[in-house]
Amino acid sequence: MSSVKMNDCVKMNFDNMEYTNKLKYANECLGICDDLNIEKNRNIVFIYSPPKVGSTTLVSSIRLSAAHKFTVHHIHNEIMLKVLYNITNITVLEIIKYNKFLGKRVYVFDIFRSPIEQKMSSYFENIDTFHFNSPNDVINTTYDVSRVIKRFNKLFPHLPTNDHYKTNYGIISTLPPIFNFEKKYLLHDVNGIKYIKLRLKDSSEWSKILSEILETEILIVNDYETDKKPIKDMYSKFKTAHRIPVNLYKMIENCESLKYYYSTEERQIYLDTWRSKICHEEFTTYTADEFKFYTELTLDNQYMTEIQREHYIDMGCVCLGCSAKRNKMFIQLKNGGQINEKINHEAAKIEYLKDNIKKAPIIIRKIGRPPNKYKAKTILTNTFSLTMGK
């Protein structure tokens, strides 16, 4: 871990009332509460990463394990701020630094995922709404896999593999020459904000890593995996049939992020795996201008929405119902079980109410008076009201 101070020239002007009001408004839009008397408001985690790197798993895992201790926000970029929250003229990094200015403990996570897999996952994430503008069931049942592979190869150089840790966090000058392969993460403390870089390949060790960093037990629950989505049938066929053209393979050979985040041995194993799947013919991809035209045309034709607001296993609600459901799922996970459901506020509320109806006679007896219909009704009404809260 390294600790550095930013130069005064890059500090934010929190003395400017108009500026701080914008930041306060951004917090309100994001649902970030500034009452520091509550523990979860004092500890805030930003999963600020590119899409399709395992970030949703990170969000749900921290929420499921420690929703009462940490507020967790998942943001990819400023476009997401504008589309989902109507926040403009403020960057993600400004919001992060503002929350530190308010006196909170702030953690910022990014994740590196191997480049070909990230490109594949990114492609399939929007294959229905963007690339083919056709429902998943139609793509699964009527599209030939060769058509899907051809489009992927055309787009290959333009499918993103961004590295927020190096390009968005403003801490590039503090990075060590090599990744910490012993700890399997990077942690930089810059002006009291902890910036952490994980690798998806180490997800089996994330529980230990996150528990150490956040100083509370974190269990990992896999969330939002492509092979469990409606497009899974085509995704399975694609992975079986796809062979990487030799010129696209060479792009990955020269990937600087792969060289940095993977050891020499790890990189060699990864490249060898894909070398066995090479198609020894070059493939002509879209040029930058062709990709720009492709994007503009696709957006003009688009009729399906890409916005997904509630795709997490755990949305972070801390009402009594959701908290009780979270506790059950945490125990199930800790005992080696699998999580195959989401925490739905309405369903959790009803489940909690039913559980407490069963316990009502016990609760009433503990009051020390004979149970009566009026008191039972009052207790159950109060219980129901409490579950309504967020």
Please report whether residue 113 resides in a domain. Answer: yes
Do 106 and 167 lie in one domain? The reply is yes
Which residues lie below 8 Å from residue 170, measured CB to CB, with a gap of 6+? Answer: 6, 10, 93, 190
Please report whether residue 270 resides in a domain. Answer: yes
Do 63 and 188 lie in one domain? The reply is yes
What pLDDT sits at residue 311? 64
Do 111 and 244 lie in one domain? The reply is yes
Rounded Cα gap, residues 284 and 299, in angstroms: 23
Question: Cα dihedral sign for 265, 268, 270, 276?
Answer: negative
Q: Are 150 and 159 in contact (CB under 8 A)?
A: no
Please report whether residue 224 resides in a domain. Answer: yes
Do 252 and 197 lie in one domain? The reply is yes
Do 342 and 214 lie in one domain? The reply is no
Do 244 and 102 lie in one domain? The reply is yes
Please report whether residue 314 resides in a domain. Answer: no
End position of a domain, from candidates 248, 266, 301: 301
End position of a domain, from candidates 301, 330, 359: 301
What angle (nearest 5°) sits at the alpha carbon of residue 79, between those of residues 39 and 322? Answer: 35
Rounded Cα gap, residues 312 and 59, in angstroms: 8
Structural domain count, the chain: 2
Residue range(s) defining the domain that contains residue 193: 2-301
307, with CB counted inside 10 A (0-12, 13-18, 19+), is: exposed
CA 160 to chain centroid, in Å, comes to 16
What pLDDT sits at residue 164? 95
Rounded Cα gap, residues 44 and 111, in angstroms: 18
What pLDDT sits at residue 4? 37
Do 152 and 283 lie in one domain? The reply is yes
Of 193, 214, 213, which is closest to residue 94 (Cα–Cα)? 193
Rounded Cα gap, residues 7 and 239, in angstroms: 47
Q: Are 84 and 90 in contact (CB under 8 A)?
A: no
What pLDDT sits at residue 354? 77
Do 273 and 324 lie in one domain? The reply is no
| Residue 126 three-state SS | coil
Beta pairing class for 244-245 and 43-48: unpaired
The Cβ of residue 199 has, within 10 Å, a number of other Cβ atoms equal to: 23
The Cβ of residue 104 has, within 10 Å, a number of other Cβ atoms equal to: 19
Do 346 and 253 lie in one domain? The reply is no
Do 82 and 130 lie in one domain? The reply is yes
What pLDDT sits at residue 19? 93
Phi-psi region of 133 (alpha: psi -120 to 50; beta: other; left: phi over 0): left
**Which alpha helices (DSSP H) does 302-344 contain, by range?**
320-334
Q: Residue 118 carries which side chain, given as an amino acid letter?
A: Q
Please report whether residue 310 resides in a domain. Answer: no
Do 331 and 290 lie in one domain? The reply is no
CA distances from 389 to 42, 271, 319, 349 (A): 20, 51, 5, 10
Do 212 and 287 lie in one domain? The reply is yes
pLDDT 10s per residue in the chain (390 long)?
A: 433 333 333 357 888 899 999 999 999 999 999 999 999 999 999 999 999 999 999 999 999 999 999 999 999 999 889 988 999 999 999 999 999 999 999 999 999 999 999 999 999 999 998 999 999 999 999 999 999 999 999 999 999 899 999 999 999 988 899 999 999 999 999 999 999 999 999 999 999 999 999 999 999 998 656 667 789 999 999 999 999 999 999 999 999 999 999 999 999 999 999 999 999 899 999 999 999 999 999 988 887 665 555 567 777 788 888 888 888 877 887 888 877 787 777 888 777 777 777 665 664 555 455 445 544 455 445 555 544 554
What pLDDT sits at residue 387? 47
What pLDDT sits at residue 323? 82
Chain length of the chain: 390
What pLDDT sits at residue 335? 82
